[in-house]
Amino acid sequence: MSNVLRPVRQATREGESALELARQVLAIEADAVRALIERLDGRFLEALRLIQACLDGHRGRVIVSGIGKSGHIARKIASTMASTGTPAYFVHPAEASHGDLGMIRADDVFIGISNSGESAELVRILPALKREGAKLVAITGKPGSTLAREADVHLDAGVAKEACPLNLAPTASTTAALALGDALAIALLDARGFSARDFARSHPGGSLQREALKHVADVMHSGAALPMVRENATLKQALDEMTRGGLGMTAVVDAARRLKGIFTDGDLRRALKKVANLRSARIARIMTPDPRTVAPQALAAEAVALMERHRISQLLVVSASGELVGALNMNDLLRAKVV
């Protein structure tokens, strides 16, 4: 019996040790990313300004480069930027010194990634970049390094230690550099007004495109499935309609189906506190007037953004003339895989 149990106990101990090590890795990398938050300052904004200036008038592009593990991070950052509206390319620094520098122009911004800031392949091409007139943004872990000193803007991605127990394998440092690159990409997306429609155009294959291009009209409740009552309806009539519709709300409309308000579960809770005689209350007194609305031709992703921005879970759909044509809630968007 003991001969059978001993390997099982040993495997359990080894498994627990592996889990503990994995937790330490995640904690170290999470700490590395959190440390970046406090370190962000005007240099990040200057890097954004450089990139925005190079993109004005479609004159320049962003070139991202790195060697080894930093090269993999550079490829991902370039890919993220490209897919979110910032023209960006990856250039291998070794290939750059053998001809690929010819693709870099004076209007471009070159983002060099190196934890040490001393990667020979990157340092070697610095004079050529300077002669060409391209702007240099360096992401390194060493503010005093060659790459950092020669950069127009240096972004400090330094980490206290690697997640590797030997403190050798690039782990926390590459995670930090990647997170900083993502922050740049998303800040540029916001500054350039990149929309869900733009995202769909740059993802023409697979489910991303199909989901991003779904419109409100594709996922909304309409016709008999649309809960609504007239302005003179009683609270009981509104509650009956809410129950029938199953959306946690009912729209309130006039005789021409023009939207006047919405009555939700939250409105009911508020009414319980302030209305003395609920039995005789008319819905027009306790509804929320002028609710948030969306057009049926809007992208479903835009409806998600509107609901998240205003912290609401239901949204009414109206035509250009103000007529109620549909309703949707967050569950509808989840089922449609828009969220």
What does the domain layout of the chain look like in residue ranges? 2-194, 216-335
Residue 270: its pLDDT value, please?
A: 87
**Lowest-confidence segment of 104-108, 145-149, 208-212 by average pLDDT:** 208-212
Give the pairing of strands 228-230 and 249-253. Answer: parallel
DSSP letter assigned to residue 155? E
Residue 339 has pLDDT above 80, yes or no: no
The whole-angstrom separation of Cα 72 and Cα 174 is 9
**Lowest-confidence segment of 7-11, 33-37, 317-321 by average pLDDT:** 7-11
Task: Tell me the CA distances in angstroms from 236 to 245, 246, 251, one per residue in order.
Answer: 14, 15, 14
Nearest to 157 by CA among 168, 170, 169, 165: 170
The whole-angstrom separation of Cα 190 and Cα 34 is 22
**For the segment 275-293, what is each residue's pLDDT rounded down to a tens digit?**
777 777 889 888 999 999 9
Amino acid sitting at position 98: H
Residue 230 makes CB contacts below 8 A (sequence gap 6+) with 252, 253, 254, 255
Span 161-190, mean pLDDT?
Answer: 94
**For the segment 185-230, what is each residue's pLDDT rounded down to a tens digit?**
999 998 888 766 666 555 555 545 555 678 899 899 999 999 999 9
The whole-angstrom separation of Cα 315 and Cα 328 is 5
* Residue 251 and residue 226 in contact, taking contact as beta carbons nearer than 8 Å: yes
Residue 180 has pLDDT above 60, yes or no: yes
**pLDDT class of 2 with cuts at 50, 70, 90:** very low
Alpha-helix runs per DSSP H in the chain: 2-39, 42-55, 69-83, 93-96, 120-132, 146-150, 172-191, 196-201, 206-212, 216-219, 235-245, 265-274, 283-286, 300-310, 330-335
**CATH annotation of 2-194:** 3.40.50.10490
Span 286-315, mean pLDDT?
Answer: 90
* Residue 25 and residue 171 in contact, taking contact as beta carbons nearer than 8 Å: yes
DSSP letter assigned to residue 61? -
| 329, β-bridge pairs | 314
- Residue tagged 């006047």 (tokens): 260
Q: Which CATH class is domain 216-335?
A: alpha beta
User: Sign of the C-alpha dihedral, residues 17, 19, 20, 21?
Assistant: positive
Q: Which residue has the higher pLDDT, 273 or 49?
A: 49
pTM above 0.75, yes or no: no
DSSP string, 210-252: HHHT-BHHHH-B-GGGS-EEETT-BHHHHHHHHHHHTSSEEEE
